[in-house]
Homo-oligomer: A and B are copies of this chain.
Amino acid sequence: MTTQKPRTGRRGDALSKERIVRAAVETLDAGGEDALTFRVLANRLSTGPGAIYNHVANKNELLRAATDEVIAHVTTGAVTGPEPGEAIRAIMLGVFDAIHAHPWVGAQLSREPWQTAMLQIFESAGRQLTALGVPEQAQFDAASALVNYVLGVAGQSAAGARALPGETDRSAFLETVAAQWTTQYDAADYPFVHQVAAQLAGHDDRKQFLAGIDLILAGISTLR
């Protein structure tokens, strides 16, 4: 009679959307996209797979919530910025770093681009464009270009993680890619691919990501 609202279960806490999402993020971080199943999630939460549906509509909603949680930290952190171009760089780098830390986020962002996470990025970028002095009717195109670029990088990051699930040695991976390119594609038919393959080994993803952002920003400064 005294226990009207038992906030904690017998063992550990009661099931809740927060706990489920947190467990999902941990599972995804540990084992990648394919590791997340309702059965292993239920097991980790010591319950049955059906119980999860009391707090989450389906797997898509769960993935959406997990992605939003990771990205929310990025956009809220980098609000203050003196120069608008620098602010855009900071936001985009934040997204890049989040995706590199959680490659499944990249896959989810490119699968469902218009979920809250991406809209927040779109909003933050758009505001800075106004500050940059980009004409209003060009702002949409400029923000879209930035977002599309980030989505492309996000997808590639996820693909890389899928290709080598547990690996950490990035340069070894790039060497494998370069070797595949030079082996499978003829130098006569693919001269540019061969030229780039040589540069691939000593190659910094993060720096190249920023170079792309700067290229788009340089193009945007043309619009003023």
Task: Tell yes or no: A97 within 8 A of B by CB.
Answer: no
Instruction: Decide if A126 touches B159 in the complex (CB within 8 Å).
Output: no
Contacts of A113-151 to chain B: CB distance below 8 A:
113-114, 119, 122-123, 126-127, 130, 136-137, 139-145, 147-151
Task: Tell yes or no: A212 within 8 A of B by CB.
Answer: yes
Task: Tell yes or no: A217 within 8 A of B by CB.
Answer: yes
Cα separation A191 to B140 with both chains bound (whole Å) = 13
Q: A179-213 interface mask toward B, CB cutoff 8 Å, 1 = contact, 0 = none?
A: 00100010000111101100100010000100110
Cα separation A214 to B123 with both chains bound (whole Å) = 22
Cα separation A132 to B181 with both chains bound (whole Å) = 24
Instruction: Decide if A122 touches B193 in the complex (CB within 8 Å).
Output: yes
Instruction: Decide if B149 touches A145 in the complex (CB within 8 Å).
Output: yes
Task: Tell yes or no: A220 within 8 A of B by CB.
Answer: yes
Interface size on A, residues (CB 8 A): 55
Which chain B positions have C-beta within 8 A of A211?
A: 141, 144-145
Closest CB of chain B to A139's CB: distance in Å?
8
Instruction: Decide if B140 touches A148 in the complex (CB within 8 Å).
Output: no
Task: Tell yes or no: A152 within 8 A of B by CB.
Answer: yes
Instruction: Decide if B155 touches A199 in the complex (CB within 8 Å).
Output: no
- Among B136, B195, B215, contact of A145 (Cβ-Cβ < 8 Å): B215
Closest 6 CB pairs of A and B: A126-B192, A148-B152, A151-B152, A152-B152, A219-B219, A215-B219
